[in-house]
A and B are shown apart, each in its own frame.
Chain A
Amino acid sequence: MESDEGLLRRLRAGDEGAFVTLVERHNGAMLRLALSFVPSRAVAEEVVQDTWLAALRGLGGFEGRSSIKTWLFTILVNRARTTGVREARSVPIGDAGPVVDASRFGPDGGWAVPPEHWIEEAEDRIDAVKLSELLRVVLDTLPARQREVVLLRDVEELSSADVCQVLAISEANQRVLLHRGRAKLRQALESELGGAPR
């Protein structure tokens, strides 16, 4: 697979095909990220298109200090936030309280209802597509800011520094959001594969 950097070189030389390949590579993730900021798919698509146009116009200024993906995401988040409907479905941190239901622990703080086993089940599962579909659905139900962090960190596999840059949040804040989001995904997998805790 041609690297983003190679595509960028061709794009700078006016190669439309290079642009289309970059779009094929990153548009889906950009759309998903945009959806957590704006209320509708139509608006998200507009934000993504604005982002591509801004990227094309900013091609000359891109210095390659971050990856192209991180650069695109950064532009996108800035655009999404200026559409005026910023993260309509989110509250500042997401939610509060423990990430594992308190009823699963005894009075001494030890597990009363320990985690059910499901890892082997997940690895043996032939229907990996269904499993990732389940995770995608649960991801979409997370509060917007948790979703953004999990999406960038765990789905898109950006570094923690890049995620903080893209979303303009602190490392500590990122960890809190990641913690809450991941815990919900884990619980969803346990409920699906291990049987509900109760």
Chain B
Amino acid sequence: MRIRFPRLRARSRVTALVCQQVVELVTDYLEDALTAADRRRFEQHLAGCPHCTEYLAQMRETIRLSGRITPEDLTPNMRADLTDLYRRWQAEG
């Protein structure tokens, strides 16, 4: 028979995050994937850290700029190939 001891639960001491941890949590923060407690720690750190605040702003700007990448235009060859493909498909019935 296994005796299960109650787990000793050290009252998890809330330690402050350092910058190096904050930058690794930025995406989880933006994706709203942090626990409420971690989110609080993250925001507490930001409140006192201009560099991490800047880093987060830069990440948001990076996302915004990525949204401006435009796909390449359709080449005349591909357009012709795909129009052919459409007609062949129609002919399939």
Q: Could you list which residues of chain A lie within 8 angstroms of chain B, going by C-beta atoms? A: 14, 16, 19-20, 23-24, 27-29, 31-32, 45, 48-49, 52-53, 56-57, 98-100, 102, 105, 108-111, 114-115, 117-119, 122-123, 128, 131-132, 135-136, 139, 150, 154-155, 157, 160, 171-172, 175, 178-179, 182-183, 185-186, 189-190
> From residue B71, how far is it (CB to closest CB) to chain A in Å?
3
Assuming A132-B69, A135-B66, A160-B31, is B58 touching A105 (CB within 8 A)?
Answer: no
A105 touches B66 (CB 8 A): no
**Closest B residue, CB atoms, query A16:** B86
Assuming A28-B74, A175-B33, A190-B58, is B69 touching A155 (CB within 8 A)?
Answer: yes
**Closest A residue, CB atoms, query B68:** A132
B72 touches A117 (CB 8 A): no
Q: Could you list which residues of chain B lie within 8 angstroms of chain A, going by C-beta atoms? A: 18-21, 23-24, 26-28, 31, 33, 51-52, 54-55, 57-59, 61-63, 65-74, 78-79, 81-83, 85-87, 89-90
Among A23, A122, A157, point to the contact of B82 (Cβ < 8 A).
Answer: A23
Residues of A within 8 A of B68 (CB): 128, 131-132, 135
**Closest A residue, CB atoms, query B52:** A111
Q: How distant is the Cα of A171 from the Cα of B74 in the complex, in angstroms?
A: 32
Count A/B pairs, Cβ under 8 Å. 137
Assuming A23-B74, A28-B72, A109-B21, is B85 touching A53 (CB within 8 A)?
Answer: yes
A189 touches B58 (CB 8 A): yes
A111 touches B69 (CB 8 A): no
Assuming A16-B83, A111-B51, A154-B63, is B71 touching A29 (CB within 8 A)?
Answer: yes
A52 touches B72 (CB 8 A): no
Residues of A within 8 A of B57 (CB): 119
A109 touches B27 (CB 8 A): no
Residues of A within 8 A of B18 (CB): 105, 108-110
